[in-house]
Amino acid sequence: MLAQVKKLAGGDLAGRFSAWWEGRDYVPPSPEPEAEAAPAAAPAPAAETPEATPSLTAPLTGPAAETEAGVTAPGSATAAGAAAGSGLAVIAGGEAVESHNGAEARLRALNTLWGDGRLAPGASDLDRRLIDASLELADRPGDIGFIGCDSALLAAFATVSERQMRVSEWRGQAVARMLAEQPKVSLSQSEVDRPRGFAEGQLVSVISIEALAFSDHKAGLVSRVFRALDASGRWVFLDTTRTTKKTPPAAFASAWAEPQLASDEEIEELLRLGGFRTVRKVSANDLVLGAARRGYATLAQVLEEGARSGLAGREGALFLQELAWEAQSWRARARAIEGGALDINIWVADKTEQTAPLSIMLDHVAPADDAGLSRVLFAPD
């Protein structure tokens, strides 16, 4: 499989990937001018030619790979549906890749694209703001609840607080990995809108990631979080909302479940009806998009390293399949955010009346200096 992929990629992986990400046609680099002929020298002894290192991606231009009916990506209708319209294809000997041990391949692909312990674009800046907001009013004993948070965020919290972390995880495929990476947390597997492991009135704050975005019974989720918080509790959550009537389907083709996006106004109304006295939000679009760009900017190099490490066979095919779905899905999601169809915010909902400004005003923070990172990394030699 990998030999075929290398042949299709044409050797310029970085250039093709950069063109695909930026939405432009791929232009091969100009050939270097030939040097003047040197005087003839005695022929050197013949040396063995090392076998070419296989690449892990198919061409980043052209139609997406077709996939057998019935092979599904997590949260997708079919693999073909997840890949529709993408320039990132996965080829396996001309045949569809059959799902086997897909959970491990998916987790490995996500960690490869977004970083160790991450299941979506994230950064220390974003983690710190979520954690700082959750602890801002926590001047009393109590535990912290987490819903849908990855290991990287839990590890970051453990470095600044010794409070017990009570985690409710709705992505079954991630539970075993999370327990292995964070053995000290108290973890309960549950549905996204029915978090478990939270005693009533015992949490000083709750942090959640995209819980409302994938919750079918949003009022129930709000009610459960409200009851789990103590009298001065705070809910801090990162969530995606839509600004149009319809959610862009390609933007969630690789998601863990079918998205159930609401508007900002609907979420605020749910929170106030649920009993929260103060509801505020600050934009996280720039932070999330910056994290996504950094993931994409390093992907070509990561893939080449994977090729040198000998990733091949069924394991390699599954890994590439999941990586392709995630890359194309987040590319579409980034376009939707940039175009204003989707919005990502950090929400802060308090059970008490708050008048002081939030300490995490993101508009006061300079964005990461990565605007030209992709172009620099992918520039032809």
**Predicted pLDDT of residue 103:** 86
pLDDT tens for residues 211-235? 999 999 999 999 999 999 999 999 9
State the DSSP code for 95.
B
Q: What is the average per-residue pLDDT within 343-354?
A: 97
Among 15-19, 136-140, 343-347, 363-367, name the one with the lowest average pLDDT.
363-367
Can you give the pLDDT at residue 378? Answer: 40
pLDDT at position 12 is 55
> Could you tell me what percent of the chain has a pLDDT over 70?
65
Q: What is the pTM of this model?
A: 0.74
Mean pLDDT for the stretch of residues 166-186 = 93
Condensed to tens digits (0 to 9), the pLDDT of residues 23-73 reads 566 566 666 554 444 444 444 444 443 333 333 333 333 323 333 333 333
**374 or 32: which carries more pLDDT confidence?**
32
Q: Give the three-class secondary structure for 261.
A: coil
Mean pLDDT, the chain, whole residue set: 76
Specify the 3-state DSSP secondary structure of 110. helix
Say if residue 185's pLDDT is above 80.
yes
Task: Name the band, by pLDDT with cuts 50, 70 and 90, for residue 308.
Answer: low
Q: Where are the domains of the chain?
A: 124-279+340-372
Task: Classify each residue of 328-365 as buried b or exposed e, where b means 16 or more C-beta atoms within 10 Å of its C-beta.
Answer: bbbbbbbebbeeebbbbbbbbbbbeebeeebebebeee
Contact 253, 225 (CB under 8 A): no
The pLDDT score that the predictor gives to residue 21 is 58
Quote the CATH superfamily of domain 124-279+340-372.
Vaccinia Virus protein VP39 (3.40.50.150)
